[in-house]
Chain A
Amino acid sequence: MAETAEQMNDKLALAKSLVAHLESGNEDDADSAIAELAGFTDSLLFQEIGRLTRELHNSINSFVADAHLVSIAQNEIPDAAERLRYVIATTEQAANTTLGAVEDSLPLADSLRAEARRLSEQWEKFNSRQLSVEDFRDLTSEMSHFLEITQANSDALHDKLSEVLLAQGYQDITGQIIRKVIDLVKDVETKLVELVRLSGPHAKPREKSRQEGPDTTAQGPAVPGVDKGDVVTSQDDVDDLLSSLGF
């Protein structure tokens, strides 16, 4: 506590008069001098407490009055949860669209391959002059049929591939949504840091709860740069680890 020179002089004067009163055996005056000396300390203490209280009051008020904080708690956090659910729904839909198109496309490609193989066998025979006139007539009609299904299947494959192409639009949409949620998380972080500052040195970070044995609870996919620790980074790592265990 900083004291002014004046306060120091007053104290010194009081102390001198206290000694004088005691030496002259004047007990009443000595007592009142002691009380006055004590008053000095008390008033400084009260001033300091007053200052701290005002600071705390102002900080809490400005924290509470921050409308953005209210909006974060009431709207933005529930919104973010909804956004992330939408990300799951969107990615699931895109994956299903893509898988559906692939499932539809594979038989188209398979039938083209099978038909082409059969025709090329016949064509081989024709080239080596093993085909009768009648067989050749069949071959030409099969050939025109093949050309027809080639066109039809190619058109269908083109449509399916376009579907797959379009379905990838989910990346753009989900990327934007996730970016928004990241901004919100950063905002909340800033506010939390403020709150920790307000609660001062009394709030100490809780120690991580200790666990017996290795932690093998499910973590979800490891995110590069976020999930640290003993995580394998490739299938090769998994294979090495398992072979070291006798697999």
Chain B
Amino acid sequence: MAGTAIERKGEADAASKIPVTVLTGYLGAGKTTLLNRILSEPHGQRYAVIVNEFGEVGIDNELVVDADEEVFEMNNGCICCTVRGDLIRIIEGLMKRRGKFDAIIVETTGLADPAPVAQTFFVDEDVATKSRLDAVVTVADAKWLADRLKDAPEAKSQVAFADVIVLNKTDLVSADELAEVEGRIRAINPYATLHRTQRCQLPLDAVLGRNAFDLDRILELEPAFLETEDHDHHEHGDHGHHGHGHDDHGHHDHEHHDDAHHGHDHAGGDHKEHDHEAHGHLEAHGHGGARHFHDAEMHSLSVTIDGDVDAEKFLPWVQEYMQREGGSILRSKGILAFKDEPRRFVFQGVHMMLDGDLQRPWKDGEKRVSRMVFIGRHLKEDEIRTSFLACAA
């Protein structure tokens, strides 16, 4: 059994967990418009909405909670391990109203970094057992995003982090400008689903119920603007939850037993050479006329091993690497073929937090390939590529 996520709780009861959608986006992009649209649709869903206390526009909903975006560092020896302390408190409080709402939407301020929100779902056990992060949805202003990407680091993080990007106000830009801003978005994050909208008009299932953080649903790691054929839907396997990618909890005197050790166990396997191929970021695929840009700071990287990897090499490497370099890696995902393992190993990470598990078996005729994707700042592409390729079985 392999897993970077360690605390197994038997059968995952994903269905009983309250889905949480995080709405992010730079000031004025249209977050509140999207939120009010979600709430006013006749979908029959009841939402608890967690809004920023400085929100500009009123929210028309029965259950609205003011949040103050208290970003806390965890005192566990990991400097980038930040969480939204208020979110932990509020979700715990909301759970006492269980049955009165079906889902939670968290609206963040325009200046918010999405990482602490996402990490909250990895770090806090109570939050993780009662709720699940469904997707990070970023609303972007077609007219101003390109400028914001130049001068606002938060805007860049929000695009990099997104599972879904709502490119709004497309009526205010020309076709050329639209192509440029899409190109700039894709330079940072080629994996998010992108929707062009005016006044955030889009089907709600495009932003809600995405299961983007569900390991079972990490179906493909191809850039989203490529046509892919890998549309097999998920089957259920056992499902580990929310391990840390780090275990360096400092100890003082008189503790009585060790902190739960977030290690991992896995099947062994012999090492043998395999061919490989590596994808750089932003290759010239694409349709829909997206132009290609390079973002000097934030970009993505995809690396593929055309075959199996050695779990004994890969798991220690990925944990060590994420712990060392996770500060600059915003999101990571991987689907891997472990040698002598009939099931796919799937993992994802947010900075140093990793969650991974063995999922459905590789199908007959399905090519066993191992692929990882990263989105981050100044990724050390050669180092990642070389060290990952060295994990080939």
Q: Do A and B come from one complex?
A: no
* Residues of chain B at the chain A interface (Cβ within 8 Å): none
* Residues of chain A at the chain B interface (Cβ within 8 Å): none
